[in-house]
Structure 1
């Protein structure tokens, strides 16, 4: 016997400290929360959202503060506290967190700061708070982004800012833009560009409070799956290795032909890995 399945989507906002978060929820069963990457929004999970609901899970995805249809940053904040407040509002005592990049960084912080709220972790292309970026490729494009922010030519500056985001986090250091799916690149460009316009006034308005997870990974005590791409930055690869080597019994899978956006570039393999992990860590009966 499985949980009743419904594909109706609930969309609403919930209050958090000095703001609100926009979320969508579908399905019934063990709760799974999808956390998107930086500069993107909940739509980066379009390929997984309804699929997981159809498998028998209560799937929740939301726009992080400063992203999508959630509040623009207006002061210091903590993504892990925002997530905890969302779960409390939705009456979800404990959930599996599936995060990519910034989303994985938030998931790790939440597992450390609010362990009672987390039953398992899927960390894709993971960020880890407290671990510095050292890859020269990332440093170069980050510097170019900062130069674009200071450009008096507003539209041109925004376009260059987004292009350097795409170079870092869609193409990666081992490919030229022409070697990447045009559809994927354009989808990420539209999402990032929309965020830049919608939340421009929040740039520099507040500092995210994080838990310094780099030195606290051993405190994570839930089943953990780490997924990354061979074509991603060395920073992300080293983050993945740090988690796998430190979190007790963490599992790891690497996708050969993907960079940072593993859920979109290696969708079938990604979904299979997530499904297998969920089956082993959740009870659908």
Structure 2
């Protein structure tokens, strides 16, 4: 676990946003998935910081970052942080929600982005159609509406193994870490709290204009419709490719950190130098 003293804080227009900042070199920003925080990348931060400056924020409303009190967009929050750091353009690496934030940011603030890695994600305009996922989401909503935190956590953790495995097939340490982070984020919010997030629209019409390298990474055991959407992103941009991590579902960076890190380092190594 990252100690609180390792975090830095950016005074945004709506409260302080937390981030980890380590290493030196070209900037890589790691964007976590929903309901958790930057510690999702505990296995990536030291590996990447050996050759890069690595920034791992807690998205607004998650981890140690402030909750929203007014309308906001993920991409704008990230852009404000990148301008504050004055160290870009950045390679944005995101898992799930974080991958959507990465893609949305290159659409909205292209001058700040050098490349995108979207893991288990495309743009933020995605809704699952997979029947198994829809059932799990419905159970999550039911549990949350009833104030059943344990029931919600049970459903949340089903995404780790995916449809075709059981929780017993996953390293218990991965489940424990995700559970701890999700409990921390849930504790920040009230059941009747207003959702101030403003969705981005019209993203796919602009995706063909993304002029930086894009890599999509999918766990082979993730939901088929999500894998298809990520692969669509890679096909639609001018410079895109897609890779699959075997033996993992929605969190390949946690289940297969060695393979995931190798994919990232290889992608970073192949990027043109900053300014070229």
TM-score range, shorter chain: over 0.9
Question: Which digits, 9 at most, give the CA deviation of each residue in 1:72-120, with x for residues without a partner?
Answer: 1323210100000001111123100011100000000000000000001
Counterpart residue number, 1:38: 34
Equivalent residue for 1:114, pick from 109, 112, 130: 109
What is the distance in 1 between the residues matched to 2:223 and 2:72? 27
- Structure 2: gaps of 5 or more residues: none
Q: Hey, which of these two has a bigger chunk of helix by percent? A: 1
What is the distance in 2 between the residues matched to 1:282 and 1:26? 22
Asked if residue 195 in structure 1 is aligned to residue 185 in structure 2, the reply is yes
Counterpart residue number, 1:99: 94
Query: TM-score w.r.t. structure 1 length?
Result: 0.89
What is the distance in 2 between the residues matched to 1:74 and 1:146? 23
What is the distance in 1 between the residues matched to 2:216 and 2:155? 26
Distance change (3 Å), C-alpha of 1:34 and 1:283: same
Asked if residue 52 in structure 1 is aligned to residue 43 in structure 2, the reply is no
Equivalent residue for 2:69, pick from 62, 71, 74: 74
Asked if residue 160 in structure 1 is aligned to residue 155 in structure 2, the reply is no
Counterpart residue number, 2:135: 140
Question: Which digits, 9 at most, give the CA deviation of each residue in 1:157-188, with x for residues without a partner?
Answer: 11111211111x21211112122221211111
What is the distance in 2 between the residues matched to 1:39 and 1:203? 15
Q: Are 2:22 and 2:53, in contact at CA under 8 Å, matched by a contact in 1?
A: yes
Counterpart residue number, 2:249: 259
Asked if residue 88 in structure 1 is aligned to residue 86 in structure 2, the reply is no
Equivalent residue for 1:64, pick from 50, 59, 66: 59
Distance change (3 Å), C-alpha of 1:131 and 1:216: farther
Give, in angstroms, the shift of residue 69 of structure 1.
0.2
What is the distance in 2 between the residues matched to 1:226 and 1:261? 13
Asked if residue 206 in structure 1 is aligned to residue 196 in structure 2, the reply is yes
- Structure 1: gaps of 5 or more residues: 1-8
What is the distance in 2 between the residues matched to 1:216 and 1:160? 39
What is the distance in 1 between the residues matched to 2:198 and 2:192? 12
Q: Are 1:102 and 1:127, in contact at CA under 8 Å, matched by a contact in 2?
A: no
Give, in angstroms, the shift of residue 221 of structure 1.
0.9
- SS of 1:74's equivalent in the other structure is coil
Query: TM-score w.r.t. structure 2 length?
Result: 0.92
Aligned residues: 270
Distance change (3 Å), C-alpha of 1:21 and 1:64: same
Counterpart residue number, 1:228: 218
Distance change (3 Å), C-alpha of 1:21 and 1:211: farther
